[in-house]
Amino acid sequence: MHILIDISAHGLGHLSQTGPVIEALKILAPSIRVTIRSSLPQPILKETIRTDFHYLPYAMDIGFIMKNAIDIDFIKSINGYRTFHSNWQKRIIFEAKWLSENKVDVVLTNVAYLPLAAARYAKIPSASLCSLNWAELFDHYFIKDSWANNIHREILSAYQQADIFLRVTPGLPMENLPNLKIISPIARIGKSARSELAQKLKISEATRWILVSMGGMNFQIALEKWSQIPGINWIVPAAIYIEREDVRSFAAVDIPFADVLASVDAVVTKPGYGIFTEAACSGIPILYLEREDWPETSPFADWLSINARSQNISRQQLEQGDFVDELFQLWNKPPPNAPSANGVDDALKLLSNLFNLS
């Protein structure tokens, strides 16, 4: 059996949701042939998906074209959607022909929709897996624009043509998808590597470590504006690293990101599925950048309020490093019971039935 899996490059949450499911499918049915189509770099895919796959380096969805990890470039996104949906029916037929020519037996997306419409046209089983879908987000931003109505109908129809849509928890409500199945959280829960990190990064285990990560998208943070605080060290990606005695780069150590996350005392991040669920399941306090315009923020915040010590901060607070009081407030709260991450098992059961795997 040949399974085609489309993974959006709109942040790393799509990959964090899909990677463990791919591994579980491969364990269940070792003979399946996996093709992954994504504009995410192959090394990032290989780091996250620990099984063999064939790689096609291009995207099958627009998502949103971003200025950075937070700000949408609306002009480029609108132009992208208009171009992508010109000759929509011909695009479906072309993709269906490609699926047939490449002997694809089943399709799974996170969260492209064209392959779902093409799979239905080619009479191939298909499923989607995600905490969001582009129809709901497209409608949120462009509902008042008359030009968008037909495009929204085409996107929504494509999702409705999938045999099943697995909405991971937490996620958007997706009340207009009759094929919806809600499943548990998906999280790759790391193991604390604090002693190893302390040795490799040359920092004291007795200090507080704060991980700063914006989920794989470009977002510049001027760490030089942040005050040095006795007893606190910042662990950051290479892109924002500066030479300072209280700053370390996690890119300098060969330790999985999930283990780095499980080793710190708190994380500062933007709203994003993977880091939210992984931190919550590891009991790590979360400070996240407020993003009121992003539709996932509300369901994420509701879920975090029950399952994690969390608090949002403003963009100005992040820029100035003015959130240490919020960190201590989180540390002083009793931790809730860590949520269970059974989403992979839920997905495996539903997908194995749909794809006739055993």
Find, among 167, 184, 257, the residue nearest to 215 by Cα: 257
Among 4-13, 217-226, 230-239, 320-329, where is mean pLDDT lowest? 217-226
Output the CATH code of domain 194-331.
3.40.50.2000
Determine if the peptide bond prior to 260 is cis (ω within 30°). Answer: no
Q: Is the pLDDT of residue 212 over 70?
A: yes
Q: Which amino acid is at 257?
A: F
Average pLDDT score over residue span 250-272: 95
pLDDT the model gives residue 216: 67
Q: Are domains 2-186+342-354 and 194-331 of this chain identical in fold?
A: yes
Find, among 169, 345, 188, the residue nearest to 281 by Cα: 188
- How many Å apart are CA 76 and CA 231, to the nearest integer? 44
Q: What is the largest CA-CA distance in the chain?
A: 62
- How many Å apart are CA 39 and CA 51, to the nearest integer? 18
pLDDT the model gives residue 217: 67
Would you say 19 and 48 are in contact if contact means Cβ atoms under 8 Å apart? Answer: yes
SS3 content of the chain, % helix, strand, coil (to 5): 40, 15, 40
pTM score, whole prediction: 0.95
Q: Where are the domains of the chain?
A: 2-186+342-354, 194-331
Average pLDDT score over residue span 15-34: 97
Domain 2-186+342-354 belongs in CATH node 3.40.50.2000: yes
Average pLDDT score over residue span 93-105: 98
